[in-house]
């Protein structure tokens, strides 16, 4: 494909009056999309139940600050295996069958859900051990599953339909992130075991769907090098493309400073004085805002000034985070989280489009792994940072200062990564020959 043709990939797409559903005429993509949605829904439900379960267990014998720190430790338990396995997972995705990797990861999720069910009937000290072990297991899964999905998905639609597929992927994820926490908050009334059982069922369905999906042949012609060579190539690709590097590292820095997800159980119970249903509302709120924006992007994708769109979104995200930290009313807090989610959706859309359109298929696994290492790992490490900050500053001050930090990072990155700031179209991320 010529450079000029690649440059016009996004700009030539006409914005319809309704969201373009044509991408779902590809049966394999439709099955893949459904699998991702129900698997994501299960994970979102688990996140609500785990957070509420472990915080309640901790509050039986600890104060707010120490209990918040324990929530952060759950993030650290996920981060450690994710950090050490992400790059290995990425090159494995390029070297081995991506569909098989997805199936194995989902089967492991089934086992972890069964373990969580057992934790609800166990003594407190044993329940803590089981929950942290499950968290570590999820870290292992996230080292392999996201890069496998991000590498397989683009092969299920024509290249010119990829921006729409990305938008629908985001819309599906955000929909799952709205429905999942809401259902979890409702089910938790009758016990966490019902939440985990529902997750287990959803994960089994996801395994069956991806197993029945017919995927195209995978190109292994350029993945016969040694693992260390493949890892270096993935890192080198990202390092040499300053637009992609800037986008990934910007998300890393912002999430590390302003991620408030881990502290939502603290705000629901001890700041807003609500219950598990309120936690479900707070967890779902960012996805409500994100889903609205994802729908708008499916109707009318961003075509120009993509760099400025990303930096502007980060600034709004920081302001909304400050508002959430200062709020003392449930629905006002949910409103600020919805604004944060909407802004984050723009950032995610820009980053994913830049990466997918700039990355050759035989390197998507490795580049996806680098993205996972920076972005997915930053979520878990950000949760640990939030818990640590809450331990010494209190949860409210930790969130507010994190919002100011996100705004400061956006300003610094505009100077450090001028190519990203000046990027006009997604294809500007293409490495020049």
- What pLDDT shows up at residue 430? 56
Residue 2 reports pLDDT greater than 50? no
How confident is the model over 24-38, as pLDDT tens digits?
888 888 999 999 999
3-state helix, strand, coil in the chain (%, to 5): 85, 0, 15
Nearest CA to 200 among 396, 45, 335, 50? 45
Give residue 427's pLDDT band: very low, low, confident or very high (50, 70, 90): low
The domain made up of 23-215+225-429 has a fold known as Growth Hormone; Chain: A; (1.20.1250)
- Give the CA radius of gyration of the chain: 21
Residue 1 reports pLDDT greater than 50? no
Measured at the alpha carbon of residue 31, what is the angle toward residues 164 and 288, in degrees to the nearest 5?
55
Residue 33: other Cβ atoms inside 10 A: 21
- What pLDDT shows up at residue 126? 95
14 three-state secondary structure: coil
**Would you call 363 exposed, middle or buried from its count of C-beta atoms within 10 A (0-12, 13-18, 19+)?**
buried
Q: What percent of the chain has pLDDT over 70?
A: 86
Q: State how far the Cα of 385 lies from the Cα of 377, in Å rounded to an integer.
A: 12
334-338 long-range contacts, CB within 8 A, separation 24+: 334/281, 334/282, 334/285, 335/285, 337/260, 337/282, 337/285, 337/286, 337/289, 338/285, 338/286, 338/288, 338/289
Residue 95's contacts (CB-CB under 8 Å, 6 or more residues apart) are 220, 223, 227, 230, 365
115-124 long-range contacts, CB within 8 A, separation 24+: 116/46, 116/49, 116/50, 116/192, 116/196, 116/199, 117/193, 117/196, 117/197, 117/200, 119/53, 120/53, 120/191, 120/192, 120/193, 120/196, 121/193, 124/57, 124/60
Q: What is the pTM of this model?
A: 0.77
Give CA separation, 122 vs 111, 201, 278, in Å.
Answer: 17, 22, 26
Give CA separation, 333 vs 30, 168, 279, 299, 337, in Å.
Answer: 35, 27, 11, 29, 6
Residue 46 exposure: Cα atoms within 13 Å on the Cβ side: 27
Q: What is the mean pLDDT of the chain?
A: 83
For the segment 59-64, the average pLDDT, to the nearest whole number, is 89
Backbone angles phi, psi at 109, to 5 degrees: -60, -35
For the segment 336-356, the average pLDDT, to the nearest whole number, is 85
- What pLDDT shows up at residue 18? 43
Give CA separation, 136 vs 107, 193, 283, 329, in Å.
Answer: 16, 20, 21, 34
Q: State how far the Cα of 193 lies from the Cα of 53, in Å rounded to an integer.
A: 10
Greatest mean pLDDT among 147-156, 158-167, 184-193, 198-207: 198-207
- What pLDDT shows up at residue 258? 81
DSSP H or E stretch at residue 47: helix 27-59
Residue 194 reports pLDDT greater than 90? yes
Greatest mean pLDDT among 28-32, 128-132, 159-163, 214-218: 128-132
Nearest CA to 186 among 279, 263, 71? 279
Give residue 6's pLDDT band: very low, low, confident or very high (50, 70, 90): very low
Give CA separation, 146 vs 102, 249, 354, in Å.
Answer: 9, 18, 17
Angle between helices 330-358 and 242-258 (to 10 degrees): 160
Which stretches does DSSP call E strand in 187-333? none
162 three-state secondary structure: helix
**Would you call 179 exposed, middle or buried from its count of C-beta atoms within 10 A (0-12, 13-18, 19+)?**
middle
- What pLDDT shows up at residue 322? 96
Domain boundaries, the chain: 23-215+225-429
């Amino acid at each position: 494909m010529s450079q000029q043709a690649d440059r016009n990939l996004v700009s030539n797409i006409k914005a319809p009056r309704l969201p373009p559903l044509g991408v779902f005429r590809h049966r394999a993509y439709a099955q893949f999309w459904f699998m991702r949605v129900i698997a994501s829904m299960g994970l979102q439900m688990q996140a609500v139940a785990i957070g509420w379960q472990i915080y309640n267990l901790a509050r039986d014998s600890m104060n707010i600050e120490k209990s918040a720190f324990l929530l952060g430790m759950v993030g650290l338990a996920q981060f450690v295996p994710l950090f050490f396995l992400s790059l290995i997972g990425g090159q494995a995705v390029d070297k081995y069958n991506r569909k098989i990797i997805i199936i194995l990861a989902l089967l492991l999720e089934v086992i972890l859900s069964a373990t969580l069910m057992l934790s609800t009937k166990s003594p407190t000290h044993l329940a803590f051990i089981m929950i942290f072990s499950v968290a570590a297991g999820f870290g292992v899964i996230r080292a392999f599953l996201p890069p496998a999905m991000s590498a397989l998905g683009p092969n299920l639609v024509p290249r010119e339909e990829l921006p729409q597929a990305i938008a629908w992927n985001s819309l599906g994820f955000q929909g799952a992130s709205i429905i999942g926490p809401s259902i979890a908050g409702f089910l938790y009334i009758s016990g966490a075991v019902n939440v985990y059982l529902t997750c287990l069922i959803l994960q089994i369905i996801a395994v069956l769907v991806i197993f029945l999906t017919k995927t195209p042949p995978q190109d292994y012609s350029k993945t016969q090098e040694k693992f260390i060579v493949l890892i270096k190539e993935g890192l080198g690709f990202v390092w040499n493309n300053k637009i992609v590097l800037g986008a990934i590292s910007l998300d890393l820095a912002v999430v590390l400073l302003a991620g408030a997800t881990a502290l939502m159980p603290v705000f629901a119970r001890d700041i807003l004085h609500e219950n598990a249903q309120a936690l479900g509302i707070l967890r779902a709120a960012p996805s409500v805002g994100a889903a609205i924006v994802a729908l708008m992007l499916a109707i009318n994708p961003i075509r120009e000034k993509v760099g400025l769109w990303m930096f502007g979104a980060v600034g709004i995200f920081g302001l909304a985070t400050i508002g959430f930290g200062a709020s003392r009313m449930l629905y006002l807090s949910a409103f600020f989280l919805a604004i944060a989610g909407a802004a984050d959706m723009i950032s995610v859309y820009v980053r994913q489009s830049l990466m997918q359109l700039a990355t050759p298929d035989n390197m998507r696994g490795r580049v996806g792994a680098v993205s996972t290492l920076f972005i997915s790992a930053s979520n878990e490490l950000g949760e640990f940072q939030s818990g640590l900050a809450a331990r010494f500053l209190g949860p409210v001050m930790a969130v507010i200062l994190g919002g100011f930090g996100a705004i400061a990072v956006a300003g610094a990155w505009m100077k450090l990564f001028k190519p990203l700031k000046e990027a006009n179209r997604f294809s500007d991320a293409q490495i020049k020959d």
